A = this chain, B = another copy of it.
Amino acid sequence: MVNKMISIFKPKKIKDFNPIGLNIYTFNAGFKKKGKDLLLIIFDKTINVCCVYSKTSTPSAPIIWDKKNNKGRVKALVVNSGNANAHTGKDGLKIIDKYVKALTIIIKCKTNEVLVSSTGVIGEKFNPNLIINKFEKLNSKNKNSLLEGAKSIMTTDTFPKISIKNINLDNQSFKIYGIAKGSGMIQPNMGTMLVYIFIECEISKKLMSRLLKNNLDNTFNSITVDSDTSTSDTLMIFSVSSKKINLNKKNFKKLNYKINELMHDLSLQVVKDGEGISKLIRVNVLNARSKKQAKKIAFSIANSPLIKTAVAGEDANWGRVIMAIGKTEENIYQNKIRIMFGNYIVCENGSISKKINIRKLDNYMKNKTIDINVKLNLGKFNHTVYGNDLTFEYLKINSDYRS
């Protein structure tokens, strides 16, 4: 594997803390050549959980296993990085049976109270003993912080992804927080590769499911690094405290807003650490006929290799944006399109704008974040997709990932 250049978007300071209600353990189990690659979270008691998974038709074994077994209650989560346990057939499922069984004996819970995730190379043999060997080390001396947890699930990520928010409802304050991993094979079809969100209050599976439904579309389902959807995309949301909160309409709205902030933050961190990124691209499609149209056009722009290379080369090549709008075959009116790079107009009324200012545009393209604003002037629907540019670094990482 090549050494990956650290993302220019790596935060200078990353917050950390030791959560209450769960015990985090991280190990170097041997899936990766070096570094932590195993995360175990044991909850103080059995709690509510809500999960969403990739819509891929070739899901990894952990996705198949979780979907089959879990009933919305969880006592432990096992995550490894370095081997995706994907396309491993019946053996892949038996391997999970084996390490989950070993864990249930130690922590005294049911099989359907354990959730598992794996991320890494697809199709490789998976040795469950690498995980089982670490179970004897589950003691209070070995407990880790949330940040250590985020680090242990990284693959080609160059920084750990963590987000912590405080919320106050009816004068009771508590935290919501989460960790994620991403990097490559990112056009999630539900969440990114792996995301775990924790809410420090008692909340039903039904309400957690509503929180996800409300906020997935504009966060994890609106990011792309390379248009490739992983076999392992998983997002889990946990109710980690029995703190009683009256989640009436008003309070739920506040919680929903905070969850959106958290998910937006984590999903953006995934793009900002997208393989080879030199610029973050925010595509805003405005005034489309429908939400679906806005999203389709935004993804077409964000995934176009010709636009991604132009942005990498600091070229405001708006003709390629016109191309990417057109290739969707959406019902639009070409002469109504207005495109701006940041606040700088490039075309309107069906052709190049008379107000175009090349010098200012060139200067704008030197920014680390580039806004591509497309106004369709057809209706009232907007959508934003986050992506990144396509660089030599992406090619270097991915022509040599397994070696």
Name A residues whose Cβ lies closer than 8 Å to a Cβ of B.
54-59, 84, 86-92, 121-125, 184-185, 187, 189, 226-231, 303-306, 309-310, 312-313, 315, 317-320, 322-332, 334-335, 337, 346-347, 349-352, 390-392, 394-395, 398-403
Contact = CB atoms under 8 A, between A and B. Distances in A.
A349 B87 CA distance: 9
B124 A322 contact: no
A349 B89 contact: yes
A87 B334 contact: yes
Which 4 pairs show the lowest CB-CB distances between chains A and B? A122-B319, A313-B399, A58-B326, A89-B350
Contacts of A332: 57-58
A90 B315 CA distance: 26
Nearest to A319: B122
A398 B322 contact: no
B352 A124 contact: yes
A311 to B, nearest CB: 8
Copies in the complex: 2
A306 B184 contact: yes
> Main SS of chain A's interface residues?
loop
Nearest to A316: B402
Nearest to A125: B352
Contacts of A323: 56, 58, 122, 185, 228-231
Max chain B Cβ within 10 angstroms of own Cβ: one of A185, A226, A230: A185
B403 A315 contact: yes
A53 to B, nearest CB: 12
Contacts of A394: 305, 309
Contact of A309 (B57, B90, B320, B398): B398
